[in-house]
C-alpha cells in the first residue's frame, strides 16, 4: 500500500470527528493496522483520525516527556 488518497484521509478524519462527538475514548476508536499494511500507511491513517478527533500531538503517552 502506498500513500493514503485524499478520500482515505477524509474517511479517517471523519471517523475521528464522529468518535469525539459521540464521546468514545480515542484508544478504543483509533484505527488498528490492517494485515500487511505498511507502517507509513498506518501512521497516515492514525494521524488523520487523530486530527479529526482533535488531537494535535499524537505522540503516544509512553514516549512523551513531562514538562520540567
CA-atom Rg of the chain in angstroms: 13
Contacts (Cβ under 8 Å, ≥6 apart) of 58: 46, 47, 50
Rounded to 5°, angle at Cα 48 from 68 and 29: 85
Please determine, for residue 35, whether its predicted confidence score (pLDDT) is greater than 70.
yes
Mean pLDDT calculated for residue range 2-24: 91
- CA geometry: angle at 54 spanning 4 and 33, to 5°? 40
pLDDT band of 30, cuts 50, 70, 90:
confident
pLDDT band (50, 70, 90) for residue 4: confident
Amino acid at each position: 500500500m502506498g500513500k493514503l488518497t485524499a478520500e482515505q484521509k477524509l474517511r479517517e478524519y471523519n471517523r475521528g470527528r464522529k468518535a469525539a462527538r459521540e464521546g468514545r475514548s480515542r484508544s478504543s476508536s483509533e484505527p488498528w493496522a490492517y494485515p500487511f499494511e505498511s507502517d507509513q500507511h498506518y501512521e497516515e491513517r492514525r494521524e488523520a483520525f487523530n486530527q479529526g478527533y482533535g488531537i494535535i500531538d499524537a505522540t503516544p503517552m509512553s514516549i512523551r516527556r513531562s514538562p520540567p
